[in-house]
Each structure stands twice: as structure tokens, then as C-alpha cells.
């Protein structure tokens, strides 16, 4: 009987362990949920957020748009001078994304732990550069470069370049770190140097993904370029800032509509380009 009891206990112990595990998992999940709710309530109380005013905001916004921003001054955004600034915005986004992608490609190589030339020195330095570019918002970069270089397109291009380095560098490095190690080891065994390993073993595996990342980077840089001019970095944002400061609300509405339209066009183009890359 004692042997049977022991056998029964042994057979039952996995079930008890499973129930304890499920109970512990449930308690952890509900504990995290409770902490989030308590922290959310504390934040609302500490920041003095009036929820009732937040609910009334939508009606006020609708009334403001109907009486001050409608109808948009569409002829204003069809003027030749404004269209020139639109073209300037597109060029600024293209240059910033192109320069950022050109610089982020070698940085991604150095910042990939599986193919970096030096895990001790080059890898952390490349990661630090990418993290530094990512940690600062492109608007802050624009303000900084405007204070150094003055007003114009050049500060916007520099800000978008650093933004693209941080954005694309991380994605490109992650793609390199997820490659198949087999071709890399085979090329190394043939006596290839580090550059040949990257060219013949790494690049063929990440080429399609890198092209998709490049298109996506341009898409995001284009959206950022539409507003960096608000801080003096050229493009459409300069017109937006001037109209806001002069309280020309109908012109502001027209400029915002033009920005939305351009972003939609850029999104359609980037989706088409990504589909072409995926089929190739």
C-alpha cells in the first residue's frame, strides 16, 4: 500500500506542479495589471488631468475647425512659390534619406555582432553612434543645426541624415544579425577577407530586406521633412510656421491638407516600391 501511495503521489506531483505554475502565472499577470491601473490612476491625479474636459474637447475642436479653419485657402497652396517649397521638401527628404542610408550601411556592418571587425572596440562604438542618432528626435536635431548653420535647407538635410542613420542603422544591423551563418563560414573557409565575406556571404542574404528598409526610411524621412521647416530648416514647414504666427487659420488648414496629401502620395509610392522589391 505504501508503494502504491508513493506511486500515486509521484503520478500526481506533476499535476500539482502544473497547477502551482498556472496559479503563479495568473497572480503575476493580475499583479502587473493592478500595478498598471494604480500607476495610471496616480499619474492622472498627480498631473491634474481633468477627464471631463478631455471628453468636452472634441466638441470644441469641431466648433473651432468649422468657424476658424473652414474653408481652407486652397488657392494659397497652389501658388508657384509655395509649390517650390513643396519641391524643396521632397528634395530635402531624398537627400537626408540617401546620405543617412549611405552612412548607415557600413555602420550596420560594424554594429552587427556576428560580422563586426572587432567586438571589443568597433561594435560598441558603432552601436553608440546609432543609439546616439536614435535617441535625439529629428526636431531637436533641426533646432540644433539651425542654431549652428543658420536658416535654410542645409540644417534640415543634416537633421534628416542623422535621423535616417539612427532609424535605418538599427534595422539594417538586426537584419545582418539574423542571417544564416552557413554561407559566412563557407566563404571564410575559402580564405576570403572580411570585406569579401560581407560582399559575397552577407549582402546576398540581406539585399531584399535592405531595399525594403531603404524605401521605408525615405517614407519616414519624407514625413519628418514636411515639418522640420517649422523650426527654420526650410521646406513647407516654414510656410506653416509663418501662417500660424500670423493667425492665418484658413491658410494653416490648406497647408495641413497639402501635407496630408503629400504624405498619402508618399505612402502609396513607398507601398508600390516595397511590393516591387518583394516580388523581385
Query: Tens of pLDDT along 258-274?
Result: 888 887 887 787 777 77
Residues 135 and 257 in one domain: yes
More confident residue, 47 or 7: 47
Confidence of residue 7 (pLDDT cuts 50, 70, 90): very low
146 lies in some domain = yes
Residues 129 and 12 in one domain: no
Is residue 276's pLDDT more than 80?
A: no
Mean pLDDT, the chain, as a whole number? 78
Residues 192 and 267 in one domain: yes
Residues 101 and 239 in one domain: yes
C-alpha cell of residue 39: 500607476
63 lies in some domain = no
30 lies in some domain = yes
66 lies in some domain = no
Distance separating alpha carbons of residues 220 and 39, to the nearest angstrom = 33
Residues 275 and 147 in one domain: yes
64 lies in some domain = no
Residues 249 and 110 in one domain: yes
Cα–Cα nearest to 169, from 116, 203, 123, 129: 129
**CA distances (Å), 4 to each of 12, 14, 15, 17, 165, in order?**
12, 17, 18, 20, 68
* 155 within 8 A of 146, measured Cβ to Cβ: yes
Domain that holds residue 100: 73-279
pTM of the model: 0.72
Query: Tens of pLDDT along 140-179?
Result: 888 888 888 888 788 888 889 998 898 888 888 888 877 7
54 lies in some domain = no
Query: Tens of pLDDT along 249-258?
Result: 788 888 888 8
183 lies in some domain = yes
Confidence of residue 10 (pLDDT cuts 50, 70, 90): very low
Residues 36 and 85 in one domain: no
* pLDDT confidence of residue 14: 65
**CA distances (Å), 51 to each of 44, 47, 107, 235, in order?**
9, 11, 46, 38
* pLDDT confidence of residue 139: 85
Number of domains within the chain: 2
60 lies in some domain = no
Residues 154 and 113 in one domain: yes
Is residue 104's pLDDT more than 80?
A: yes
Is residue 217's pLDDT more than 70?
A: yes
The CATH number of residue 233's host domain is 1.10.3720.10
Amino acid at each position: 500500500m505504501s508503494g502504491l501511495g508513493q506511486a500515486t503521489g509521484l503520478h500526481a506531483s506533476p499535476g500539482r506542479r502544473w497547477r502551482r505554475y498556472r496559479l503563479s502565472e495568473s497572480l503575476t499577470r493580475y499583479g502587473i495589471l493592478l500595478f498598471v491601473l494604480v500607476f495610471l490612476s496616480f499619474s492622472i491625479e498627480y498631473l491634474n488631468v481633468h477627464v471631463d474636459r478631455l471628453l468636452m474637447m472634441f466638441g470644441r475642436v469641431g466648433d473651432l475647425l468649422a468657424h476658424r479653419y473652414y474653408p481652407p485657402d486652397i488657392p494659397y497652396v497652389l501658388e508657384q512659390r509655395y509649390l517650390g517649397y513643396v519641391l524643396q521638401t521632397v528634395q530635402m527628404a531624398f537627400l537626408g534619406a540617401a546620405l543617412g542610408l549611405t552612412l548607415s550601411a557600413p555602420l550596420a556592418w560594424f554594429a552587427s555582432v556576428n560580422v563586426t571587425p572587432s567586438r571589443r572596440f568597433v561594435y560598441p562604438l558603432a552601436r553608440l553612434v546609432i543609439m546616439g542618432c536614435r535617441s535625439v528626435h529629428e526636431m531637436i536635431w533641426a533646432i540644433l543645426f539651425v542654431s549652428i548653420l543658420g536658416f535654410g535647407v542645409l540644417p534640415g538635410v543634416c537633421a534628416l541624415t542623422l535621423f535616417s542613420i539612427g532609424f535605418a542603422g538599427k534595422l539594417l544591423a538586426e537584419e545582418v544579425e539574423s542571417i544564416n551563418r552557413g554561407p559566412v563560414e563557407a566563404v571564410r573557409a575559402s580564405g576570403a577577407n572580411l570585406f569579401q565575406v560581407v560582399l559575397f556571404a552577407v549582402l546576398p542574404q540581406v539585399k531584399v530586406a535592405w531595399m525594403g528598409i531603404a524605401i521605408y526610411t525615405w517614407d519616414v524621412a519624407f514625413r519628418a521633412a514636411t515639418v522640420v521647416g517649422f523650426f527654420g530648416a526650410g521646406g513647407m514647414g516654414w510656410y506653416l510656421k509663418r501662417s500660424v504666427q500670423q493667425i492665418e487659420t484658413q491658410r494653416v488648414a490648406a497647408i495641413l491638407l497639402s501635407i496630408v496629401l503629400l504624405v498619402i502620395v508618399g505612402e502609396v509610392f513607398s507601398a508600390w516600391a516595397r511590393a516591387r522589391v518583394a516580388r523581385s
